[in-house]
Structure 1
């Protein structure tokens, strides 16, 4: 037995023992890596394919205004034909393309919301490509913008009191930061230099969140440092309640507020009263003249 132990000890000290242990260790490490790494490798490959698909779509539909690499295009006069997209992020692309504002027929004034040209898959590919060009906010996860994900403090699901608290807080934030442009009930309004604040009632919650995050056109950018994600969700919850709130004042005149209602009152209401008063005065005058003529 002592001879066997001695023989094993001599083999351990042999020059090939360390190499054998190293090879076995590498084989074991490689086996473990191959067992867990394929999912990550497949995900990376899928992302690369998505970026490549987005680049092909970008070169066909976007490069004319934004440049082949998203660097932007200047006119001969030095004005911006198409802005650079190197740091706008995937959220800006998802908003612009998902709402149909992009692509534009030609550069010009602020484009309106319309039916999307690209499918959801193509929009995701374009967003992935633009996101690969630099930094910028990513497309938000559903729990960030969907009011149905509001949970109570104990994590036991939403309850009516907490939802109302969210709605009240969202209303205060909206009235303080958004009503100057979007109107007190989100019906939109005119802006300087040919721009306008679009109607946001009935807008997809994801696009509302992305608009706050990216600040399209003349809109301010409300980063998470300015308005935290939880407060953004509260604003969206408030806007959704406006869809269900009836108009207790009767005709809303587009929900444009007291200015439009005052104009209607002056033009239609007082105008009708003035016309009626003139008619009465003219009718009374004609009657008096007939009576004076008869007496003479």
Structure 2
């Protein structure tokens, strides 16, 4: 009993010591660190090595295919007049690279007012490597998870909300039907018909070329998904009104009115005059 009391007294005295709390905290940190090192670090180490290899591969591809315009360190290149030959890419993030390279807009075949969509030059693995390298240069938007732009289970309410957002933010350039349209300076807003959900999401997230950036602070991921759902629903909806004339609005409609409408009226007028009573009399006199 006396021995037990002595041990209890010493433990009580130790708990009241100023060094007790720091000592317990140190032991807890060492224990946690040991467990992390023993079980988690090997897996993270392998992932780090894979990431480093992907970045290294992306840098090699970048130096060969992109550095002539964007600089060896993606710092951008200026012309003698001070214009951007190739803009800096530090901080644009993996999402911008995935969009530009994945849609074939980059690398450009030749300088122009706007990079046009074409078959991609790089495969998926190479695009991931390029994106990883550019992302390592500075923080920027990451490639979103596929669940963010999966609209297979979108409800009617979400589609309606997406239509409202689209008409408010996008129709000024892309047309009410998403068919695109002309812009100043020889540029144009491309058609959204047939564009993948991922590319539409990436375009809203990164704002390529003349398009504004719709970050998550401007349009939430749910809003972006609803816009995509509306566009895909519009693609699947047949034209109940007949000919769409490209769905580009008054240009094609006005041209059709002039050619078909006025042309038809002119033809009808010629036919009427050629079959009038005076024409018949002239024919009878000639006979």
Aligned counterpart in structure 2 of residue 289 of structure 1, from 251, 260, 282 = 282
Aligned counterpart in structure 2 of residue 195 of structure 1, from 176, 184, 187 = 187
Cα distance in 2, alignment partners of residues 193 and 293 from structure 1: 62
Partner of 2:64: 60
Q: For each residue in 1:260-294, what CA deviation from the matched residue of structure 2 results, as whole angstroms up to 9, or x when unmatched?
A: 22321222222122133134324535434345678
- Asked if residue 228 in structure 1 is aligned to residue 220 in structure 2, the reply is yes
Partner of 2:110: 106
User: Could you tell me whether the CA contact under 8 Å between 2:103 and 2:120 is conserved in 1?
Assistant: yes
Cα distance in 2, alignment partners of residues 131 and 220 from structure 1: 21
- Asked if residue 89 in structure 1 is aligned to residue 100 in structure 2, the reply is no
Cα distance in 1, alignment partners of residues 214 and 150 from structure 2: 18
Which runs of 5 or more residues in structure 1 are unaligned?
1-21, 151-162
| 1:148-167 → structure 2 map (5 Å cutoff) | 148=152, 163-167=155-159
**TM norm structure 1:** 0.81
Q: For each residue in 1:14-71, what CA deviation from the matched residue of structure 2 results, as whole angstroms up to 9, or x when unmatched?
A: xxxxxxxx9xx97996575132211111111111111110000000000000000001
Aligned counterpart in structure 2 of residue 263 of structure 1, from 251, 255, 258 = 255
Cα distance in 2, alignment partners of residues 199 and 273 from structure 1: 34
SS at 1:34 equivalent? helix
* 1:200 Cα deviation from its structure 2 partner: 0.9
Cα distance in 2, alignment partners of residues 254 and 64 from structure 1: 39
User: Could you tell me whether the CA contact under 8 Å between 2:113 and 2:185 is conserved in 1?
Assistant: no
- Asked if residue 204 in structure 1 is aligned to residue 196 in structure 2, the reply is yes
User: Could you tell me whether the CA contact under 8 Å between 1:82 and 1:107 is conserved in 2?
Assistant: no
Which runs of 5 or more residues in structure 2 are unaligned?
1-25
SS at 1:104 equivalent? coil
Cα distance in 2, alignment partners of residues 179 and 129 from structure 1: 35
| 1:113-262 → structure 2 map (5 Å cutoff) | 113-148=117-152, 163-262=155-254
Partner of 2:12: none
RMSD over aligned Cα atoms: 2.2
* 1:232 Cα deviation from its structure 2 partner: 0.4
Cα distance in 2, alignment partners of residues 227 and 98 from structure 1: 23
Cα distance in 1, alignment partners of residues 261 and 73 from structure 2: 58
Aligned counterpart in structure 1 of residue 266 of structure 2, from 242, 257, 274 = 274
**TM norm structure 2:** 0.84
Q: More displaced, 60-69 or 271-280?
A: 271-280
SS at 2:186 equivalent? coil
Q: For each residue in 1:155-176, what CA deviation from the matched residue of structure 2 results, as whole angstroms up to 9, or x when unmatched?
A: xxxxxxxx00100000000011
Partner of 1:51: 55
Q: More displaced, 137-146 or 251-260?
A: 251-260
Q: For each residue in 1:68-120, what CA deviation from the matched residue of structure 2 results, as whole angstroms up to 9, or x when unmatched?
A: 00011111122111111012111000000001111111221212211111000
* 1:201 Cα deviation from its structure 2 partner: 1.7
User: Could you tell me whether the CA contact under 8 Å between 1:189 and 1:196 is conserved in 2?
Assistant: yes
